[in-house]
Amino acid sequence: MGSFWKGKVVLVTGACRGLGIVLVRQLLQAEAKVVLHSWLTPLPKDEAIAQSILHQQALHVTADIRSLEEVSRMLELIQTTFGCLDVLIHNAGISAQGTLLETSHATFDQVLETNLNGVVQLTKLAIPSLIATKGSIFFISSLAAIHGIPHYLSYSITKAALVPLQEGLELELKPHGVHVGLIYLGFVENDSHKFALNAEGKKVPVPKRNSQWLMTKETAARKILKAIEHNRRKDYASIQGRIFSFLKFFFPGLIRHLLAKQLSRNNP
């Protein structure tokens, strides 16, 4: 992996916690130059990352990707610091819990603005730089994109919307030598401090996942970087994703039954 990534300038959104920070560590080990994007999350206390920033191997930038001005400033800073951008990894995102009826308009809009509109805006502004380097854009989607998940509809909608975005953008940018890919992530272990929004838009902790299908952040990060390295258009991080997609296509009624059963179990 190192030879592919060595010297490449990689922007990882939502890079200061969870899967994002693991992606950063693996990229730095592969000798990439990494831009750590965050908005409200502070830079973690990590000696290796601090040394990378000190030696201009990494750059931390705070920006609200919903803001045109802040995204433009971030991209200008990347050009000033590193002179180019080779890879854009869309990792940042938020989720909200609650039925459609009880979820406020403001909460629903916040998820859409962050997970979809912000992603589109950053992608659009980064395209000229990526054309110049014949680089890559990579979207991190979810199994929630394959079938809408009750109580998480705003999240499902935004992750599903990334699929046609990837499909169409890949064809638009192929003549320019830019690769556009997407991965469907399944259940990845989450940090103890991970949060979601409730129906009113307040932050609430996400329960620790204990699924037998659970994937470590390290494994998920390796699969994402491997998919980019091999120019994969679409990929599934696990066998569970392939099974879920197969069942959705051939046995959609079974997927509905399983989700309904899970919903009744969680809401007796």
* Cβ count near 105 (within 10 Å): 8
User: For residue range 126-182, what is the model confidence (pLDDT) as tens digits?
Assistant: 999 999 999 999 999 999 999 999 999 999 999 999 999 999 999 999 999 999 999
| Single-letter amino acid code for the residue at 183 | I
206 contacts 155 by C-beta, under 8 angstroms: no
Alpha-carbon separation of residue 255 from 176, 211, 220 (angstroms): 39, 18, 24
pLDDT over threshold 80, residue 191: no
User: What's the rounded Cα separation, in Å, for the pair 139 and 141?
Assistant: 6
Domain residue spans in the chain? 2-239
Give the residue carrying structure tokens 């190192």.
Answer: 2
Query: Thinking of the domain 2-239, which architecture would CATH place it in?
Result: 3-Layer(aba) Sandwich (3.40)
User: What's the rounded Cα separation, in Å, for the pair 39 and 257?
Assistant: 39
Nearest to 92 by CA among 66, 68, 70: 66
pLDDT value of residue 262? 77
The stretch 52-66 carries a mean pLDDT of: 95
- Phi, psi (degrees; rounded to nearest 5) at 12: -115, 115
